[in-house]
Amino acid sequence: MEKKISIVIPNYNGAKTIGKCLTAAFSSNYSNFEVIVVDDCSDDNSVEIIKGFPCKLLRLKERTGSSRARNTGGNNCSGDIIFFTDADCLVKSDTLSIINNTYISLDQDVVIGGTYTAIPYDRQFCSIFQSVFVNYSETKKIHNPDYIAAHAMCIYTETFKKSGGFPEVFLPIMEDIEFSHRLKRSGIKLRMNSDIQVRHIFDFSLNRSIRNAFRKTRYWVIYSRKNKDMLTDSGTASYELKFNVCSFFVNIILVSSWLLLSNSIFLAAAAGITLCNLFINRMMFEAFFRAKGGLFAVAAILFYMIIYPLPIGAGTVDGIISNDLRR
């Protein structure tokens, strides 16, 4: 039995990607679906592009953010199941079939999460690194993940309409985490299905990758401090990443101490911490290898251990001293 699936896509100035996004959606091998695009007052030509596809276009009267766009789409759909994704994500041809088969096998109300493909649409090093990193981090916990990301979130329409939807005045980026936590508190179960995948268009240069890491970390820290769960193993904010960042800064202190004091115990301690870090993150490093082979894995591991901790650390400090959690 094919349940009707409503794909809901928020759009704001997505002219560079929305055409690819909608082409992929309408290339699905699943027949019983609709596509709803909610435009958040774009001032590029994305609306003209959207009008070239057989989807329902809803246009907000003022710029209000992706949460209201998602809520508007979810409250104006006709499907049994809503599949939330983004304007820079490409739904795979079998994704909707997998969603349908997943829900047919369930005997309870569950929100199902998908993830990015390991290899993204664009093939820059930082884009592939980010896609593998997210894919691994989001699918590590199949049962009871901390949250479901809105780039691939499946929820019964009735459940969504009863839930109150995504928070419309809140921290950027964190809306799906707050929504997931609220659903869990209400008794709704969360599950991950790693076969539900979308191919993300990152277009990440080194600069964009670093800025993205800083920004996401900053808002995550602001939210998690308020939520009192900074130490939670939470998707990309995983135990592995936290240990990696801590090891980097501790090792800076240890190596500096060795250089100043010429005491080899500091160097030995740094080596021991590095070995522990390699062991703790070994599963993600294997994911790097599976994605693109040995040379990419070596480069990705060095990037992860030596460069990536810098924006994460800076974002953490900025988040700790910030008080701009909006309600």
- CA separation for the pair 84, 73 (Å, rounded): 9
138-173 pLDDT per residue, tens: 999 999 999 999 999 999 999 999 999 999 988 888
Chain segment 87-137, per-residue pLDDT in tens:
999 999 999 999 999 999 887 899 999 999 999 999 999 999 999 999 999
The CATH architecture that domain 5-204 belongs to is: Alpha-Beta Complex (3.90)
User: What is the C-alpha to C-alpha distance for residues 82 and 38, in angstroms, rounded to an integer?
Assistant: 14
pTM of the predicted structure, to 2 decimals: 0.93
Q: Given this model, what pLDDT does residue 323 score? A: 63
Domain ranges of the chain: 5-204, 206-327
pLDDT given at position 72: 97
Question: What is the structure's pLDDT at 49?
Answer: 98
Give me the residues of the chain with pLDDT under 70, please.
Answer: 323-327
Q: At what angle do helices 309-321 and 239-261 cross, to 10 degrees?
A: 100
Instruction: Confirm if 39 and 71 have CB atoms less than 8 A apart.
Output: no
Residue 20 half-sphere exposure toward CB, CA atoms < 13 A: 16
